[in-house]
Amino acid sequence: MSIPNPRTVVATRYVTPLREGGSLPGLVEADDLGMYVLKFRGAGQGIKVLVAELIVGELARALGFRVPEIVLADLDPELARAEPDQEVQDLLRASGGLNLGFDYLPGSFDFNPLVRDPGPELAARLLWFDALVLNVDRSWRNPNLLLWHRDVWLIDHGAALYFHHGWSAGWKPSAEYRWDGGDHVMMPVAGSVADADAELKPLVTRDLLGDVLAVVPDAWLVQDGMTPADIRAAYVAYFESRLASSPRWVETLEAARAARV
């Protein structure tokens, strides 16, 4: 199964900033008349945040989670001229070229598993997935899940794969990564994480990882003295190492689940 390349759209109008959002996401209209939540390359957290969004979003989709369509959004910094707000002007000026867009889900709202039970299987699969990708942004305080048309949609994966902020040529994955599922939004309602592991781990093949990494633009994979091929290989090495150690981290999650009140 190969993953289609993201569509490229051209941003035509900055509509509004989104209320929350440490990464200054904004709602933008594009030349296909679609509305997208844009994560701007000039937002100050660097291109790796967009890379994490793209890799983790497409991997999640390939594993059966619902994720808004992800597009590459070409932005002309001249759009800044139409903006009265200085902060928005600066953001647009710094974001010329390709940015990342997410199909805007109108009428969606923040998902709360205590209000609407997602079911123990989905909850356990999401807990497993976030442990796999080291996503630290799915706490009950800030779940980064949207409820839309009665389904749970995953957003905001820029903080995952955090190890890439510290890598350089010759990097090797660690045997262990710190990831605490204690305040994960699904911990109180998750079913068996061991079952989720048995179901999902076989799906994360080297082929799938190669397909996911192929959708990341080469221009986003030139960092820290590494080539795009080096960087793709480093992500694959990370995933293979993390999957190989899943018996240990799944056991930790199962212990946390058994201890919950």
Binding site for ligand ATP (CB under 6 A): 18, 20-23, 25, 37, 68, 102-105, 108, 137, 142, 144, 146, 155-156, 158
Q: Which residue, 126 or 209, is less far from ligand ATP as judged by CB?
A: 126
CB contact burial 19-44 (16+ within 10 A = b; e otherwise): eeeebbbbbbbbeeebbbbbbbbbbe
Stretch that binds Mg ion, among 102-110, 137-145, 170-178, 183-191 (CB under 5 A): 137-145
CB 68, min distance to ligand ATP, A: 4
Query: Which one of ligand ATP, Mg ion, none is in contact with 127 (Cβ closer than 5 to 8 A by kind)?
Result: none
- Give the phi and the psi of residue 134 in degrees, each rounded to 5: 55, 45
Q: Which residue, 53 or 197, is less far from ligand ATP as judged by CB?
A: 53
CB 118, min distance to ligand ATP, A: 17
| Binding residue for Mg ion, selected from 53, 58, 156, 197, defined by CB under 5 A | 156
Binding-residue total with Mg ion (CB under 5 A) = 2
| 144 binds Mg ion per the rule CB under 5 A | yes
CB 76, min distance to ligand ATP, A: 23
Which pair of tokens denotes residue 130? 């976030």
Q: Which residue, 138 or 232, is less far from ligand ATP as judged by CB?
A: 138
Which pair of tokens denotes residue 32? 């296909």
Q: Which residue, 35 or 213, is less far from Mg ion as judged by CB?
A: 35
CB 194, min distance to ligand ATP, A: 29
CB 202, min distance to ligand ATP, A: 30
Q: Which residue, 20 or 176, is less far from ligand ATP as judged by CB?
A: 20
Residues in contact with Mg ion by CB under 5 A are: 144, 156
